[in-house]
């Protein structure tokens, strides 16, 4: 009876942890339209697998979605814990045209040319990017989606999404912003780590029950 209970408990733990390893996208809250109201995404970095994010199971990342622009800017706030940290900001599913859907995105006519600005909390510009010509998986053939790579020191930062050239995001425009920051603790473990941990619990429960 003890052995059966121990294995059942460990299996339930494994199932729960495996479910937790699949993180949901973070939605833009709709009120992050200026620097003072930047939306914090610090609590949502994880190592969940995502085909549109490079090294997604190795580098902490967060996927942010905006399902409809409202003629405003979008500001997102995050922290970096160590100097010399690699950071990647990747807009997917932004510029779309009818009949030519982005990989993993809905097919719609979206007259939106994303533009990224990396800012200090005070609003000073540190870096920016308009168009990506590297063939990123989530970007359409016209390469209008943005991809910004940089190295950051410890501190707080803000990434702003706008429409080129520095205009408000058009009403109804949609996008996905993937932010990858090295040296950050992730809130969700990688699937492989979860599996190993769960199997360890199973073995431990079985071993303890046999010694009683």
pLDDT in tens, the chain (212 residues): 433 333 333 333 333 333 334 468 899 999 999 999 999 999 999 999 988 888 899 999 999 988 877 889 999 999 999 999 999 999 887 755 544 545 556 555 566 788 999 999 999 999 998 876 665 655 654 567 788 999 999 999 999 999 988 899 888 888 889 999 997 766 555 444 444 444 454 555 555 555 55
Strand segments (E) across the chain: 26-27, 39-40, 61-66, 74-80, 85-92, 114-119, 125-129, 147-152, 155-163, 175-181
Around Cβ 88, how many Cβ atoms within 10 Å? 18
Interatomic CA distance for residues 188 and 59, integer angstroms: 12
Q: What is the pTM of this model?
A: 0.73
CB atoms within 10 A of CB 122: 8
- Dihedral of CA atoms 170, 173, 174, 178 in degrees, nearest 10, equals -30
> What's the pLDDT score for residue 146?
86
Greatest C-alpha distance within the chain: 71
What pLDDT does residue 130 have?
Answer: 83
- Residue 46 CA, chain-centre distance (Å), reads 8
Q: Is 69 helix (H, G, I), strand (E, B) or coil?
A: coil
Tell me whether residue 105 is exposed, middle or buried, using C-beta atoms within 10 angstroms of its C-beta: 0 to 12, 13 to 18, 19 or more. buried
Q: How confident is the model at residue 128, as a pLDDT?
A: 95
Q: Are 207 and 22 in contact (CB under 8 A)?
A: no
Token duo for residue 168: 């408000």
CATH number of 24-188: 2.60.120.380
Nearest one of 64, 79, 70 to 31, comparing CA atoms: 70
d(CA 143, CA 131): 6
| Sign of the dihedral defined by the CA atoms of residues 162, 164, 168, 170, in that order | negative
Write down the pLDDT at residue 62. Answer: 96
């Amino acid at each position: 009876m003890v052995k059966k209970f121990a294995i059942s408990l460990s299996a339930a733990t494994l199932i729960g942890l495996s479910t937790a390893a699949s993180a949901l996208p973070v939605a833009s809250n709709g009120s992050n339209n200026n620097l003072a109201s930047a939306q914090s995404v610090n609590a949502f970095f994880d190592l969940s697998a995502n085909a549109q994010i490079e090294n997604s199971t190795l580098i902490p990342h967060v996927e942010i979605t905006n399902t409809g622009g409202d003629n405003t800017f979008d500001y997102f706030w995050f922290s970096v814990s160590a100097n010399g940290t690699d950071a990647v900001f990747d807009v997917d599913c932004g510029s779309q045209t009818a009949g030519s859907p982005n990989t993993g995105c809905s097919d719609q006519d979206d007259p939106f040319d994303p533009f990224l600005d990396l800012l200090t909390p005070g609003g000073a510009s540190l870096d920016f990017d308009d168009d990506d010509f590297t063939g990123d998986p989530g970007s359409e053939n016209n390469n209008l989606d943005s991809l910004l790579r940089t190295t950051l020191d410890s501190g707080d930062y803000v990434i702003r999404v706008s429409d080129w050239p520095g205009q408000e995001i058009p009403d109804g425009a949609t996008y996905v912003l993937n932010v990858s920051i090295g040296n950050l603790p992730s809130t969700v473990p990688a699937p492989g780590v979860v599996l190993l941990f769960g199997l360890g619990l199973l073995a431990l429960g079985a071993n303890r029950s046999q010694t009683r």
